Chains A and B, each alone.
Chain A
Amino acid sequence: MTSINLAFAGISIGAIAALSGIGLLVTYRTNGVLNIAQGGIAALVAYVFREMVVEWELPIWASALLSLAVISPVIGLLLERFVFRPLARRRASAAESLVASLGVLVLTVGMTAGIWGLGSRPDAPSLFPARAIRLPGNNRISVDALAELALVVTVCVALGVITTRTRFGRQVRAVVDDRQLAELSAIPADRVAAAGWAVGTTLAGFTGILLAPRLQLTPYGLTLLVLETFAVVVAARLASMPGAVITALAIGILQSELSQFQVTGRFAALFLAVQSNLFVAALLILLLVVPRLRELGGDAGSTGRFSSRGAPPSGPPGPADQRRDVLGKLGGAALLLAPLTFAPPDLRNAFTVPALALIFLSLVIVTGYSGQVSLGVAGYAGLGALLSAKLAAGALFGLPALPGPAALLLGALLVAPVGLLTGYPAIRRRGLTLALTTFAVGAVVSRFVFQQQTFVARLHVTPLSVAHRTLSDRWFYVVELLCLGLGLLVVRNLHEGRLGRALLAVRDHTEGAAAVGVDVRNLKLLSFTVSSVVAGLGGALLMLGSSSFDPETFSPLNSLLWFTAVVVFGADSAAGAVVAAGFIVTIDTLAPAGSSTLAVGILALTLGWLPGGLASAVRGVITFLSGRLAEDLPYAAGTPLTPTGRQPILSVPPSGVLSVVPSSKVATAAVTPAGHRYPAPQNAPALSPFGQALVAWVREGTRLAPVTGARRTR
């Protein structure tokens, strides 16, 4: 009897997960975007619904109608029109769409937190009456569960009929197949895509409203819960709707059934953790077991387009470069040292900057340099923090208590095996699968370690001390800067020379790199391992800076936020990582908490227009300005603008007559980075040193198309 009743109870949660999964699948199959923002949208709609019912005292049906039939689809339509249509227009990679949806997630969570605060709301209204129907045999099923099940069946049948039987369905499948060809065939692809988004966000709204009364409604909590239902679409291999529904119901019922067992002894805590986090566990296990997701559009693996730069030039840098480099570094160092002069409370706020910068650097290594999406960085950071705290307290496997700095470094190093382990799945995985796998690792670590009393109870964070003397705030900040310096050194070594080129080759074209003999496997492992250590160090500093281990700091949602921030500020830019950390801490200090989330979200949505993040936008503006300046400057005929230098070369003018052109004339046809030709007067005076530096910089800062090809000469 209990089992049957529990199964009925499980159907309810399973049906909600199924709705969420169907929404994800519809958006994915029509747009090729795995809508990570599903959770954020669900939370937003749930809050709006609660606001209408509780604060404005509207009747439930009116609120439901407004939030599900108006607000939810409108959110989807807006997202399609302003965020994802521009991306689809320029055939952005799946990785770019992933980041855009992360941006939407961060933005919606930021909005919800900004409007309603982070506190929990226990009074979320229930959509269906809280009654139960008596079934034969003394079983009861709640109206909730019945209604949700009916909803799932209706949605499934409706979608199935539409896609296979109708004209619109054929159009949908044509658009899914090839959006550009659909437009060439006079099929309104944008309308199909918009419909897909509207259905997806409406189902997200349903998920949010139905889930809200089951928990203490908080922006982060609900968002995370919806993210965990991604297990369902993984089981469906991103394609099969019945697969998603069955998995969702199965996990829901299993979770419910497990609650009738009592496990005592050593595994009690573990059992309880598994039971209450079955969706997370299923997500990771399914990702490791399911052979391949049926991703749309092929290669989603490359994050190359987040990164605007290639390898640094292998030769010695020119004097202009060196000067710029030194100036930049001095400026950066001065800014980082500035907090030493701050008043104590401000200095303590600044503690977060180097720690966060290290975490961001770890993402630069793994995403910017080697092109792997990593959405689980908070997990590594938290592990680094936890391990170093345990080491310092002498609570790890009976090891003696280590002095602070040794515990700090060793704790970070001990994260390496975990990084290596997650690197292993990454060898064969890429794109969305890799993104989800890393997210799942972070979520599992968070739920099964950081939130378990076994590991974090009585965790005492000892302030950092050297030679038995506790460091003052100033000295602690100096230690943080030293660690950051260490991290920057590691990053530099990974970016330059042979290793850097090999990593970039893996990033830009994995198969090509493997074909020319680059050891892709070990490089991926290396980047994941090093990145996890750097993140662990950052996490440990983050904990020491705040003098406590807070599981919330290392929540999986923060992984997503941090990843987004790094991509926004330029995934391949170490300086960008430091600036991003400074930016987030500054905003959070000056503005109400959560504002940085909102800011990062807004910036992420502009990625559609700034493919390389802010760093490349800044570089682009400088290049453009100096290009314009250089255009106004007179050119010297002898300025080596062309690779061919001064020798006369042969070229074929449009008339088709071969002729010999002196090099000065060739220089006049120099092509700017933007590709347009600008005339340079012959016999112009020589450039000023400034002009030369500027021209050199502009040329080296971007890839210049070769002006005259040897192929032309015959």
Chain B
Amino acid sequence: MSAELILTGARAGYRTIEVLHGLDLTVPAGKVTALLGVNGAGKSSTLRVLAGLLPLRSGSLTWRGKKITKMSALDRARAGLMLVPDERAVFASLTVEENLRVIVEAMGRRDISPALAAFPRLGEPNRLSQRAGTLSGGERRMLALARVLLAQPKVLLVDELSLGLSPKVASELFAWLSTVAVGGTTVVLADQYTEEALNLADVVYVLHRGECSFVGDPAELKPSVSADPV
């Protein structure tokens, strides 16, 4: 099992508050890695570090054997390491079509039909010319995922896929995510404890206060989820 991303001794934070206290993380290539933990455990911060939005204070990040600690978020996105943030993941004042077009063009392509094939709801009549800001929460998540799909990333980082969504929509999106993973894309996903995330994941990291408190097979965790909500 080759490693896609290796994060070693990561310390990072916001202003005077350190959030990650020397986190080690290895993301296997072509698998789904789930980062679990309660609010404030450092899941989102870890994803932001991986995407280049949050600079490391110490430690290093390696992607396919190449050190990318200093690489900018833009360059990582261009190289195919893409994050779907948990909020504000679409351009609200652009139409649905423009949202899709702008990312396709940035990656040097033109075709937006794969996104519409994956999420037929976005291709409904009049939907393409609707402003993304007027979409419902679930539709907005779909659009966010559709955008990233078009970019054909090598590594997909998804923050709080299920946040604020109805269980039905959430499981729809998780189902889609599993197809992406089957296609060979490495997926890192951060979530609160959810069945879906555990079912999907090949490897689970449980974060606690900016440190890793468990690494391993999701099967080991499953019974304890209902027993101990931490």
Contacts and interface: CB of A to CB of B under 8 A. Distances in A.
A, B co-complexed: yes
B51 interface: yes
B188 to A, nearest CB: 14
B73 A675 contact: no
B93 interface: yes
B73 A174 contact: no
B13 A187 contact: no
Contacts of B13: 675
B16 A185 contact: no
Contact of B102 (A170, A190, A652, A654): A170
Given A170-B101, A183-B72, 20 more contacts: A170-B98, A174-B94, A177-B91, A177-B92, A178-B88, A178-B92, A180-B73, A181-B91, A183-B77, A184-B53, A186-B82, A186-B103, A186-B151, A187-B102, A190-B74, A656-B214, A674-B18, A675-B16, A675-B17, A676-B11
Contact of A184 (B83, B94, B208): B83
Contact of B94 (A173, A186, A674): A173
10 contacts: A173-B98, A174-B94, A185-B102, A186-B82, A674-B18, A675-B18, A676-B18, A677-B21, A702-B16, A703-B16
A434 interface: no
Contacts of A186: 74, 77-78, 82, 103, 106-107, 151
Interface string A588-630: 0000000000000000000000000000000000000000000
Interface centre among B91, B101, B105, B151 (most CB of A within 10 A): B91
B74 A705 contact: no
Contacts of B106: 171, 185-188
Contacts of B89: 181
A190 B94 CA distance: 19
Query: Which 6 A/B pairs are nearest by Cβ-Cβ distance?
Result: A675-B18, A186-B106, A177-B91, A186-B77, A654-B213, A183-B74
A171 B213 contact: no
A180 B93 contact: no
B111 to A, nearest CB: 15
Contacts of A654: 208, 211-213
A217 to B, nearest CB: 41
A131 interface: no
B140 interface: no
B9 interface: no
B16 A674 contact: yes
Contacts of B218: none
Contacts of B31: none
A243 interface: no
Interface in B1-56: 11, 13, 16-18, 21, 51, 53
Contacts of A167: 105
Interface string B73-88: 1100110001101001
Interface centre among B18, B88, B89 (most CB of A within 10 A): B18
Nearest to B214: A656
A676 B73 CA distance: 26
B147 interface: yes
A170 B105 contact: yes
Interface in A153-197: 167, 170-171, 173-174, 176-178, 180-190
Contact of A705 (B17, B21, B90): B17
Contacts of A178: 88, 91-92
A185 B93 contact: no
Given A173-B93, A184-B51, A655 B213 contact: yes
A673 interface: yes
Contacts of B107: 186
Contacts of B94: 170, 173-174, 177
A173 B212 CA distance: 40
Interface in A261-307: none
Contacts of B17: 675, 705
A673 B21 CA distance: 14
B53 A174 contact: no
B18 A184 contact: no
A677 B90 CA distance: 38
Interface string A67-96: 000000000000000000000000000000
A687 B212 CA distance: 35
Contacts of B85: 180-181, 184
